[in-house]
Structure 1
Amino acid sequence: MTGGAWTEMAAGSAVAFTALLFAQAALHKLTDFTAFTGYVADYRVVPESWSRPAAGVALGLELLTVAALVVPGGQAAGSLLAIALLLGYAAAIGINVARGRDRIECGCGGAVQPLGPALVVRNLGLAGIAAFGLGTVPGSLLAPEALTALLVGVTLWIGYALVDQLLANAAHLRRRA
């Protein structure tokens, strides 16, 4: 296998991971849109009357991200959209942490977590992973390589979900102490 194939597999893995990440987040928002609208209002980065439309735009952009990532030839656009969303979310979290508003739930779509600097770092890291997807060249992987990239992406996503839950548990224990 050439160095280019390894790069393509890494990019494919990043795309698979990012698609799963945004699919989970969008599903979380879809299943309880009212609660998500409340999270958006809690952030206070848009006027309260704009919370519902802003929540709808965020959900729509997450669904568009997933669609772009899974449609052949859309990986670069999906990766760019994922990066933009993750950086925007990191900024909104950072603004609230700077305001001292760390008792609100992130609304990220995973385990329940209050805002904190670790979530800003997490989102920046996730944006970095999504950036690897920019190196994807559609159709450049053979079927076994593509399957391997998909399985690596799924494995990364499962690992991410486990770490996310551990961080949520730690935050919960800190609040109780």
Structure 2
Amino acid sequence: MNVDQLVHLMAITGTTFLVLLFVISVLHKLLDVDRFSGYVNNYDLVPEQSVKATTYGLIGLEIAISLGLIIPAFNGIATVAAIALLSIYALAMLINIRRGNTQIECGCGGPVMFLSYDLVLRNGLIILIALPALFAHPTDINMIDTFVSVSCGALLFLMFIIAEKLLANFHHSQTLNR
């Protein structure tokens, strides 16, 4: 296996992870748009009259990213959009952490977690997982390698879910101990 094939397989793993991440995130937001709108409002980064439009814009963008990651012709632009959106979310968290507004639920779609540097770091790690997709060149890989890469992406996502739950529990226990 050469380097191009390895990067391509890493890109498939990362893309699978991102698809699962964004699809679950979108479903979470669509199940309770009003709650997500409240999170957007709590960040206090857009004027109050723009909160609903921002809410629907973010949901629409996450849907577009999810679809773009599934359609090979749009993988590149969808990956760039995913990285940009994850960076914007991290920046929004950082701004509020610096303001002292840490009692805001992140609104990420997983367990209840309030803003912390851990969440900013989490977004950074997700971006690192996405990066190989930007540098991958289509190469000849067999179906078994593709299956293994997709399976690794799904396993990585399951590990991510477990890590998020552990992080949420850790933060809740820290709050209780104060």
TM-score, scaled to structure 1? 0.95
Q: Is the 8 A contact 1:41 1:51 kept in 2?
A: yes
**Residue of structure 2 equivalent to 1:36:** 36
Is the alpha carbon distance of 1:138 and 1:2 closer, same or farther for their aligned partners in structure 2, counting shifts above 3 Å?
closer
Tell me how far apart the structure 1 counterparts of residues 41 and 107 of structure 2 sit (CA, whole Å). Answer: 11
Structure 2 residue 151 is the aligned partner of structure 1 residue 157: no
Distance apart, 1:138 and its partner CA: 4.7
Is the alpha carbon distance of 1:47 and 1:151 closer, same or farther for their aligned partners in structure 2, counting shifts above 3 Å?
same
Distance apart, 1:117 and its partner CA: 1.0
Structure 2 residue 19 is the aligned partner of structure 1 residue 19: yes
Structure 2 residue 119 is the aligned partner of structure 1 residue 119: yes
Tell me how far apart the structure 2 counterparts of residues 20 and 175 of structure 1 sit (CA, whole Å). Answer: 30
**Residue of structure 1 equivalent to 2:144:** 144
**Residue of structure 2 equivalent to 1:105:** 105
AA at the equivalent of 1:167: L
AA at the equivalent of 1:160: F
Unaligned runs of 5+ in 2: none
**Residue of structure 2 equivalent to 1:96:** 96
Secondary structure of 2:73's aligned partner: coil
Q: Is the 8 A contact 1:8 1:140 kept in 2?
A: no
Cα deviations by residue, 1:34-86 (Å, 9 ceiling, x for unpaired): 10000000000001121111011111111111101000222111110100000
Q: Is the 8 A contact 2:69 2:79 kept in 1?
A: yes
Query: Which region of structure 1 is more displaced relative to structure 2, 132-141 or 77-86?
Result: 132-141
Distance apart, 1:121 and its partner CA: 1.2
Unaligned runs of 5+ in 1: none
Tell me how far apart the structure 2 counterparts of residues 23 and 74 of structure 1 sit (CA, whole Å). Answer: 16
RMSD: 1.2
Q: Is the 8 A contact 2:4 2:139 kept in 1?
A: no
Tell me how far apart the structure 2 counterparts of residues 113 and 66 of structure 1 sit (CA, whole Å). Answer: 23
Is the alpha carbon distance of 1:140 and 1:33 closer, same or farther for their aligned partners in structure 2, counting shifts above 3 Å?
farther
Tell me how far apart the structure 1 counterparts of residues 139 and 59 of structure 2 sit (CA, whole Å). Answer: 29
Tell me how far apart the structure 1 counterparts of residues 6 and 40 of structure 2 sit (CA, whole Å). Answer: 39
Q: Is the 8 A contact 1:12 1:136 kept in 2?
A: no
Tell me how far apart the structure 2 counterparts of residues 33 and 112 of structure 1 sit (CA, whole Å). Answer: 16
Tell me how far apart the structure 1 counterparts of residues 23 and 136 of structure 2 sit (CA, whole Å). Answer: 19
Structure 2 residue 166 is the aligned partner of structure 1 residue 166: yes
Structure 2 residue 72 is the aligned partner of structure 1 residue 54: no
AA at the equivalent of 1:45: L
Is the alpha carbon distance of 1:165 and 1:47 closer, same or farther for their aligned partners in structure 2, counting shifts above 3 Å?
same
AA at the equivalent of 1:59: I
Cα deviations by residue, 1:81-136 (Å, 9 ceiling, x for unpaired): 10000000000000000000000100001111000111111111211211222133
Cα deviations by residue, 1:4-29 (Å, 9 ceiling, x for unpaired): 22111111101110111111111110
Identity of matched residues, %: 34
